[in-house]
A and B are shown apart, each in its own frame.
Chain A
C-alpha cells in the first residue's frame, strides 16, 4: 500500500506544479492591481509589488463620470443571470427535440443552427442593430438577454450530444409505463443531463460576462454599461491610462465567475456515475 501512497503524493505534486504554471498570469494580474501604474510595466517581471497599494481599488471603483463600478457590476449580474437561465432552459428543450424526435427537415434546421455559428458577429452587427432599433430595444438590456431565450447553438449541440449518449431503452421503458414524449423529457432525460446543463451554464455566464461588443453597440447610457465594457475605458491610446485601476477592477471582475465555477463544478462531479444507471 505504500507504493500507492507514494503515487498519490507524486500525483499531487505534479498537478500542483503544473497548476502553478497555469495560474501564474492570473497571480500576476492580481499582484499588478496592487502596484503603481508606472511600476506595472517597468517592474513587469517581478510578481510582488514594492509595496501593496489599495488606492487602485478605490480609484477604479469610483468609475467614470459619476457612475461607479457598483452600477456596472449590478448590470452585469442582471444581464448574465437572465441570459444564462434563458440559455439553459431553451437549449435543453431544443436539444431534446433534435436528439430524440425524428421530424421532417431535421437536418436542415440543424444545419441552419451550425451556420449561424459560423458568421462572425462583426459582420452581422449592423443589420442586427437595425432590427433592435425597429423593435425599440436599443438602449435597454433586451437585446443582450432576449435572443438567448431562443437557444444557444453551442448549448443545444452540447446537450444534444449528451442526450444521444443516454440509452434509448430508458425512453422505451418509460413509454411503456405510459409516459408521453414530454414526460420522458421532464422525468427521464432532464435529470440525466445535469452535467451538460451545468457546463452550458458556466460557459454562457462567462461569455456573457466577458462580452463587451454587444453591450457597446446596443446600450447607450453609461449607467447601463456592464463591467466588461467599463473595463475598456481605463485605457486610451492618446492619453495616460490608469493601468493600476484597470487591473484592480479586472481582478474584481474575475471573482464572480470564479465563485460561480467553484459552486457549480460540484454538480459536474456528481454527474451520472454517482446517481447511477441501473445497468
Chain B
C-alpha cells in the first residue's frame, strides 16, 4: 500500500466518522453563530429590523465602564475558581478512587452538590449561609473570629461567595478525574512498587503524566465554562453590590434582553468568544509539551 493510498483511506474514513458532526454543525449551529456575528455590527432591538451601524457597538464598548468592570470580574472569577476547583476535584478523586464497600455511596455524596446545580434551592441556601446572621458567621464566632461580616453586601467578599460555590460544585471534574484514574493500568503501579518507588514518586511519575490528557480536557472545559459562567451570578447576586459580582455573560444578557440591545450583546459575545478562543488556542499549542498520550 502506498502512502497516498493510505492517507486517502484515512481521509474518507475520517470524514465518514465525523460526518454526523458536520451535518449537525451546518444545520443548527453555523447559521445562528453567523447571524450573531452580523448582528454585532447592527443596532437591533429584537422587535424591529436591525440597522447597520458599522463598528459603533465595539467603539461604545471600550468606553462603557460596566463592560470593563464585568470583564474584570469574569477574569478574576475564572482564573481563581478554575484552578481551585480542579485541584480540589483531583484531590477528592484520588481519595475516592480507593476501592471500598462504601465508595459508591461516597462518590454519590460528593457528586450531589453538582446535581442540584443551579436550582433555586442553592440560591436561597447560599444567601442564607452567607447572611450576616447566617451559619458561616455563627461558625466563625464559635472559633472566636469576628462573626458579623455581611459577605454578600461587601464589595471585597461578595465575589468569593460565588467562587466558593463554584469550588463546592466540583463533581463533574471529579468524575472525569475518577474515570481517568481508572484508566491507568494497575500493572504500572505494580512495576513501580517492585522497583521500590514511594507514594509521592508514584504520583509524580505515573499518575500525573498518565492523567495529563484528562487534566488537559478538564482545564479546557472549565476555562471555557468559567469565562461563560452565568447562573451563579444570575441566581444569587445579580451583580450586587456595586457590580462587583457582575459576570460578563450576565451583563451581556441584560443588554440583549432587558435593555433590548441585541446588537450590542452580540458584539460583546464575539469579544468574549475571541478571547476564550485565543486562550484555548494557546492551551492547545502548549499541550504538545506537557500532555502525554499513550498513542503517540
B289 contacts A by Cβ under 8 Å: no
B250 to A: closest C-beta gap in Å: 10
Q: With a CB–CB cut-off of 8 A, which chain B residues contact A181? A: 9-10, 13
In the complex, whether B228 has a CB less than 8 A from a CB of chain A is: yes
* B residues 115-131 in Cβ contact with A at 8 Å: 115-122, 124-126, 128
> Given the known A-B contacts A93-B20, A97-B14, A103-B15, are A116 and B182 also in contact in the complex, defined by CB atoms under 8 Å?
no
Say whether A199 contacts B20, CB under 8 Å.
Answer: no
A131 partner residues in chain B, CB cutoff 8 A: 27-28, 31-32
Nearest CB in chain A: distance from B267 CB, A: 10
Q: Is A6 in contact with chain B by the CB < 8 A criterion?
A: no
Q: Which of B102-110, B140-148, B155-163 contacts A (4 or more CB under 8 A)?
A: B102-110
Asked if B242 is at the interface (CB within 8 A of a chain A CB), the reply is: no
When chains A and B are docked, how far (Å) is the Cα of A154 from the Cα of B118? 19
Q: How far is the CB of B86 from chain A (nearest CB, A)?
A: 15
CB < 8 Å neighbour of B11 from A104, A123, A162, A258: A104
- Is A78 an interface residue, CB under 8 A from the partner? no
Judge whether B21 and A120 touch: CB under 8 Å. no
Would you call B182 and A120 a contact (CB within 8 A)? no
B196 within 8 A of A: no
Interface residues of B in 193-218 (CB under 8 A from A): 210, 213-214, 216-217
Stretch at the interface among B52-60, B69-77, B171-179: B171-179
Taken together as a complex, chains A and B put the C-alpha atoms of A93 and B16 apart, in Å, by 9
Which residues of B are found within 8 Å of A22, using beta-carbon distances? 109-110, 112-113, 168
Asked whether, in the complex, the Cβ of A196 is within 8 Å of the Cβ of B179, the reply is yes
For the complex, what is the distance from the CA of A245 to the CA of B159, rounded to whole Å? Answer: 31
User: A258 and B14: CB pair below 8 A?
Assistant: no
B224 x A151 contact (CB < 8 A): no
Beta-carbon contact of A195 and B295 below 8 Å? no
When distances are taken between beta carbons in the complex, the residues of chain B under 8 Å from A115 are 33, 273, 277
Contacts of A112 in B (CB 8 A): 25, 30
With contacts A124-B32, A257-B115 taken as known, whether A273 is within 8 angstroms of B186 at the C-beta atoms is: yes
Question: In the complex, A268 Cα to B108 Cα: how many Å?
Answer: 12
Neighbour of B24 across the interface among A119, A120, A149, A164, CB < 8 A: A149
Main secondary structure of the interface of A (DSSP, over half): helix
If A94-B20, A102-B7, A261-B115 touch, whether A116 touches B294 (CB-CB below 8 Å) is no
What CA separation (Å) do A44 and B103 show in the bound complex?
A: 32
Contact of B172 among A23, A90, A147, A203 (CB under 8 A): A203
Q: Enumerate chain B residues within 8 angstroms of A202, measured Cβ to Cβ.
A: 175
Q: In this assembly, does A126 line the interface, its C-beta being within 8 Å of a C-beta of chain B?
A: yes
User: Whose C-beta in chain A lies nearest to the C-beta of B172?
Assistant: A203
Known A-B contacts A150-B23, A268-B182; the reply to A23 vs B16 at CB < 8 A is no
| A52 contacts partner chain B, Cβ-Cβ < 8 Å | no
Closest to B217 in A: A161
Q: How far is the CA of A12 from the CA of B102 in the complex (A)?
A: 9
Report which of B7, B28, B118, B293 forms a contact with A210, defined as CB distance below 8 A.
Answer: B118
Residues of B within 8 A of A (CB): 7, 9-18, 20-25, 27-33, 35-36, 46, 95-96, 98-100, 102-104, 106-122, 124-126, 128, 134-135, 138, 168, 172, 175-176, 178-180, 182-187, 210, 213-214, 216-217, 220-221, 224, 228, 230, 249, 252-253, 256-257, 262, 265-266, 269, 272-273, 276-277, 280, 293-295
Supply 14 further A-B pairs (C-beta < 8 A) apart from A94-B20, A116-B25, A131-B28.
Answer: A11-B98, A12-B102, A22-B110, A44-B124, A90-B24, A96-B17, A98-B17, A101-B11, A114-B280, A126-B46, A127-B31, A206-B115, A231-B119, A258-B108
